[in-house]
Every structure is written in structure tokens, then in C-alpha cells.
Structure 1
Amino acid sequence: MKFREELHKQRWDDHRFYHHNRVNQFLHLLSASCFVASYYLIFVDPVAAVMVGWLLAMVLRQIGHFYFEPKDFDHVNAVSHEYKESVKVGYNLRRKVVLLSIWVTVPIVLLINPSFFGFLSEAQVEEGLLYTTAILWLFTGLGAVVFRTVQLFFIMGIQSGLVWATKILTDPFHDIKIYHRSPWYLAKGDMYDDMTDWYAQVPVGDDHGAAKGM
């Protein structure tokens, strides 16, 4: 597949495999809006950008996945939850637990060791806990994307890794595009997406092989 075709495929597998629940879709809409705000804030107030990105955008997004998305057999796609987890391109639930554990651990370690074992300068430490936490959370987020991208270079190829990285960075805008009607569906009492909307097009070469990003 060409780059655009693979990007479409990863986005399609993301949508059909991991966004059945309308509450999850709505939380992704809120999360995406927060991420877009953090993209702007990074040029204005980096600390605020990181806090919005992690404490609002990421928390809302993962609540949707961990608590609202069904984890039984997926009758819409005729695959098991275990299968979806095994083919997930980016961070499946197990990898997310590891990433979120690192995220939670960062401020705890900073309380004990403000310089983070010498990683932070004295001037940075003097800025306070909020500032140093923001620095390390920013590195955590960027590191997670870079780490998985490089992993995918070896697992699936350079193009697939770059496609996934592109997908992750542009997901906020794409989520707003495809989930902006989720409040309307919830108001109607429509709790689950049957994947028959306009976006439900099977990309070229579809074999269930690409799945959800972060």
C-alpha cells in the first residue's frame, strides 16, 4: 500500500475495532479538542500545554477505552478482543498500562528526588514541581511516540512506522471530524456504532492487520 492508503487503513481499523461505544466516541471528541488546544498552547505556555494534554486529553481518552469500550467478542468485525489486542499497531491496553504507570510515577519520583537523579538542572528544579513534572511528562509523551515508531520500523517496516506516527499526531483533528456527531447519537439513546456510516469503507488490502494507535 502507498502511504495514504496505509494511513486510511490504520484509521479505519482504529475506528471499527476500538470505537464502538458512543460514550467512548464522545470522550474522544472532548479529548481531541483538548489536544488541539494543547497544540496551540505549546507555543504560548508549554507547561499548560502539557497539563492539558496529559491531565485532560489523555485521561478522557483512556477512560473511554478502559471503561466504556466492550471487550467481549466483536460481532461487527467477527474477531475476538484478544485478536484485536494482538494486532494493534500502537499501544494496546497492556502497553498503555505501562505508559500510564510511568506517567503517574514521574511526579512521585520528583517529590523524592527533585532533580530526577540529575536529569534536571538546578535552575529547572527551582521553577517548582509543576514545571519539572511538565518537562518530564513532555518527554514521556514524545518518547512514547518515538519509541513505538522505531519499534514499528523493525516489526512492520519504515513506512508503517511513519504512518502510525502521522496518525497519532493528526488523530485529534481526525477524531473531531468523525466523532463530532457523537453527542447527537447519545441524545437519541444510540449507544453503539454499527460501523455502517459514511466512513465505513474497507480500504485496499484490508486483512484486519492494522489496528489501533495510542
Structure 2
Amino acid sequence: MSVPVIREFLETLRVQRWDDHRYYHHSRINQSLHLLSACSFVVAYALLFIDPAMAALLAWGVSMTSRQAGHFFFEPKGYDQVNQATHEHKEEIKVGYNLRRKVVLMAAWALAPALLWFTPSLGGLIEPATDTAGYIHDVGIFWLALGVGGLIFRTVHLFFLFNVQTGLAWMTKILTDPFHDILLYYKAPLALLRGEWIDPHHAQHHAQQSR
């Protein structure tokens, strides 16, 4: 891969990260929940090499629920004065999973345990669990497959919507978001304790990035 291609890829990644931060992370509660999500995701990454099912249970049960709760319940959805954009506009131009797509993804996550409860073998695709521990393990593996599948599906989808670079940059962003979010939001809980509900530095960051 040539140096110009690498530079272009890194710039695409930077823009995607910046757009995600400036459009969807104004709330200090959302930022704090993203910090919790990021820390638990890092632990889940380590667990992947030891117990993949437990890693997925942690990633979906703690990381994803806290992360998406921040977006759905605490992030402002009115007119964005800093970025001069409506919520609808932000949803339309969102590269990855916007809130509508996230509803579908989270619905699949929530339905997985019920599906495995009523059809333990998934129509003969897997060996059915015989006890509670086996059932929980199967749920974890199902969630792991759902996460990997959702990542690959959207990445390939972006290949066709935009180009391969956009898709690969988004996949890289998603996989490295936990580490990046820790660097971005480690001060958010303290700011929240000081009574800051909305990040007052968003406008300043916007001005710096726009130069």
C-alpha cells in the first residue's frame, strides 16, 4: 500500500471519527456511558482469546447496552446549533449504524435468547444445550456471530454505497473505538459531577477542526 493511499485512508478515518464525535456525543452522560462501554469492550477483547462466549456476553450485555442507552436516551435530538444541522440530517448522512439501524440490530440482540430458548438447536444448526450453562454459552456465541455479522454486513454495504476505503475505514473505526473513546471521554464523569450536562467544548473543537 503506497504512502498516499495510507494517508487518504487515515484522513477518511479521522473524518469519520470527528463526525461521530461532533454529531453524536454532546451529552456528558452519553460520554460517560461511552467510557464505561469502552472499558468493558477492552476487557471483552482480551476475553476473546480465553472465552469467546463470555466476551460476547460482556460486550453485548454491558458495552453495547450502555453505549446505545447513551445515544437513545440522553443525547439531544433537537436542532444542533454548533454544527447547524437537524437530527434528521445527521441520521441521513450517518456512515455507520444510525438510530433506525441500531433499533434493528438491538432487536435482533434482544430476540436471540428467546430464539435459542424455543429452538435450542436453531433448526439443527448447532448441538442443543442441555443445561443452563450451555444455554448461556450458546447465547454468547449467537451474540458474537451477530456482532461479527453486523460489522461485516455494514462494511460490505459501504463498499457499494461509497467505496472500499470508506467501508474499511469504518470497520477500523468501530474496532478501535473503545481505545479512542477512553482517550476522548475519560474526563466526562468528573465533568458530569461538576454539573455539566452538555460538553461546553464542542463549539471550540468544532472551530479548531474547521480551520
> Normalising to structure 2: TM-score of the pair?
0.91
Give the partner amino acid of 2:100: R
* 1:28-107 map, 5 Å: 28-107=34-113
Point out where structure 2 has 5 or more consecutive residues left out of the alignment.
1-6
* 1:177-196 map, 5 Å: 177-194=183-200, 195-196=202-203
Alignment of 1:202 with 2:194, yes or no, is no
User: For residues 208 and 33 of structure 2, what CA distance do their matches in structure 1 show?
Assistant: 23
* Counterpart for residue 212 of structure 1: none
Tell me the CA shift for residue 197 of structure 1.
5.3
Distance 1:158 1:12, change over 3 A: same
Tell me the CA shift for residue 121 of structure 1.
2.8
Tell me the CA shift for residue 27 of structure 1.
0.3
User: For residues 136 and 50 of structure 1, what CA distance do their matches in structure 2 show?
Assistant: 9
Give the partner amino acid of 1:83: H
* 1:102-181 map, 5 Å: 102-122=108-128, 125-126=129-130, 128-181=134-187
Tell me the CA shift for residue 187 of structure 1.
1.7
Tell me the CA shift for residue 81 of structure 1.
0.1
Tell me the CA shift for residue 32 of structure 1.
0.2
Greater relative CO, 1 or 2 (CA 8 Å, sep 6+): 1
* Counterpart for residue 30 of structure 2: 24
Give the partner amino acid of 1:151: H
* Counterpart for residue 4 of structure 2: none
Tell me the CA shift for residue 128 of structure 1.
1.8
User: For residues 199 and 33 of structure 1, what CA distance do their matches in structure 2 show?
Assistant: 26
Distance 1:155 1:201, change over 3 A: farther
* Matched-pair identity in %: 50
Kept in 2: contact 1:12–1:200 (CA 8 A): no
User: For residues 137 and 118 of structure 1, what CA distance do their matches in structure 2 show?
Assistant: 18
Runs of 4+ aligned structure 1 residues displaced above 2 Å come to 196-204
User: For residues 110 and 199 of structure 2, what CA distance do their matches in structure 1 show?
Assistant: 32
> Normalising to structure 1: TM-score of the pair?
0.90
* Counterpart for residue 210 of structure 1: none
Distance 1:200 1:64, change over 3 A: farther
Distance 1:203 1:158, change over 3 A: farther
State how many pairs are aligned.
202
